Structure 1
Amino acid sequence: MMKHLVDAYLATWNASPAERESLLAEHFAPDGSYTDPLAQVAGRTDLHALVDGVQAQFPGFVFTPVGSVDAHHDRIRFQWGLGPEGAEPVVVGFDVVVLDEDGRIRDVHGFLDKVPS
């Protein structure tokens, strides 16, 4: 189940706006939050807008999993890459996801490990 949620999370960042709306509704708590060094948002609407901004900043790039998924209780941690499809990621990050009681993503705590200069 945990890998499935990570796959859904990354798919949300890669999705078109219409597909993203469905993924957000299915996998994210309505009042969920996302925090990384560059952004802090709460709620599906603000997360949707954040993803739009990232896609505009990195057109044609995709999020991919890097390494394995680790989880315990209601916490999941994993590393991801962002770059052109099939190429070495330009950005690499590490996220910790906290699930709500229904198994949806409630909070995301993101860290950036590799950022272009």
Structure 2
Amino acid sequence: MELKQVLASYGAAWNETDLSKRLGFLESSWSDGGRYMDPAGTAQGRDQLANYIGEFQARMPGARIELTSDASQHNARIYFKWRLVTADGNTAIDGVDFGTLSDDGRLREIVGFFGAPPERTG
């Protein structure tokens, strides 16, 4: 699967409220033992990630994740930008995800960061 398709499926998983459909999106985009982490939590494997996404949706009803860039890629490493849009259409936060790809092209690891990097002080 092409990286654009993998990321489209991964992004769709974050916005899918039906667990079985969300797992379907993750099946095509997330490796079997993939690891996810961001400042709010972690998940190991597809089922945990699907549940983590469901918990996010319960905390932020009607919110959605929008991918705001294509991915930059080299040596099985990627990064891309996204934003969290609230139910009323406002951007709550911008972020960036860094990741690695498995041999079959699915995501093996994502490390998410919220907001812009801090300003340099010194």
Tell me, yes or no, whether TM beats 0.5. yes
Which structure has the greater CA radius of gyration?
2
Matched, 1:23 2:35: no
Gaps of 5+ in 1: none
Alignment partners' CA distance in 1, 2:26 and 2:5? 14
Cα deviation per residue 1:36-94 (whole Å; 9 max; x = unaligned)?
Answer: 11112201111111001000011111111123421112122111111136833212211
Gaps of 5+ in 2: 117-122
Q: Which residue of 2 aligns with 1:81?
A: 83
More strand by share: 1
Alignment partners' CA distance in 2, 1:102 and 1:24? 14
* Identity level (%): 29
Count of equivalent residues: 114
Q: Which residue of 1 aligns with 2:97?
A: 95
Q: TM-score, normalised by structure 2?
A: 0.84
Q: Which residue of 2 aligns with 1:13?
A: 14
Q: Which residue of 2 aligns with 1:51?
A: 53
Q: Which residue of 1 aligns with 2:41?
A: 39
Q: After the TM superposition, which of the residue ranges 78-87 and 59-68 deviates more from structure 2?
A: 78-87
